[in-house]
Structure 1
Amino acid sequence: MEMAEFFNLDNPIWRFMGKVFDMMVLTVLWVVTSLPVFTIGASTTALYYAGMKLAKDQEGYVVKDFFHSFRENFRQATFMWCILAGLGIFLITDLTWYYQFKSGVGVMIFFMFVILTAFYIMILTYTFPLLARCQAGIKKILMLAFMIAVKNIGWTILMITTTTCLLAIGVFVCAPVLILSVGLCAYLHGKILYVVFKQYHFVLE
């Protein structure tokens, strides 16, 4: 490879490094804007907005894209997060409580909550990407998230598995991966989401 070609910004190596850097930036932005906790919904929506653009090679300035979505969806995403966070706490509390029971009824209720938690995670997987890509009320977003998660169960499982594996690698194997993990997750999910959302005409050009 000639030196002039190597230093060309359109070189595949530089484009790859540029995407890696953007993923790191997205990770930092998501962590910083999620620190107040109640803003996690808005920061996750912004993460997917910028991440899906990155996955589609439509990225401009990830910081600008991130904060554009953060401001635009702040109110609805924050309200949605409060609802989902409350529901998540309820499910975790009940799972912990009924896990201690060894009787037949207690075991049945425990497994019922396991199933409900699985559906909750599936809905959570699509809720904020949907907020990032379509205009709709909270009730409709949740219904769409459930419908899409169930109808595309294979992609849904892959997205959940990807998130789990990246976090596990970062926490238990290689801590530096965490610097990239959130942005990389949004990028990989973005690739999948464009395939899934295209069926329902949710993809914005």
Structure 2
Amino acid sequence: MRIRELGIGGAFLVEPKIFPDSRGMFLEVFKQPAFAEAVGHPLNVAQVNCSVSVRGTIRGLHAIHLPGQARYVSCPAGAIRDIVVDIRQGSPTYGQHVAVELSEDNRHALYLAEGLAHGFAPLSDQATVFYLCSATWSPENSYEINPLDPDLDLPWPRDREPVLSDKDRAAPSFKEAERLGILPSYADCQARYAELAAAANGATR
């Protein structure tokens, strides 16, 4: 299993080793020791979500107020483009994004640390997505940023009219979210990551 950090700190692409044979294939979807070594702390799984989306759907951009909810995202059926946006004020990559393809063919997964926003869109007629979440979801702690914000200019599929939830379509733009004061600071996020690493180190002593 290869785990590498992407162009935004706290976003990691997980590339498992696939073992095909005459019966099909086998792979390790998640491996705690490899994950903790790459990220600096283990992933505490408190909730597992599943969504099924048709082509044209955009889900996101979604984020959680600190201490937040880290997410480990995979696509076991179909294919998606997942886009991570750095919304941490003061970050060296503030306002930038990275996009990755997760699919039933490559079996890649994406880890997003607390403080990052993300969304995804199917590249296939239908896609199933699983999320391992470090905390349970609570509506009062979640917020959205409009995925079609022209200032962000995110690389969503352009082959059909996007289908969004009412909440995502009405979400503020990135600059509006900044003015509303709902975005996390990079310093607070770094402190949160250090806290998780310190707790992991203390548990192993």
Range into which the TM-score falls when normalised by the shorter chain: under 0.3
Greater helix content: 1
Rg bigger for which structure? 1
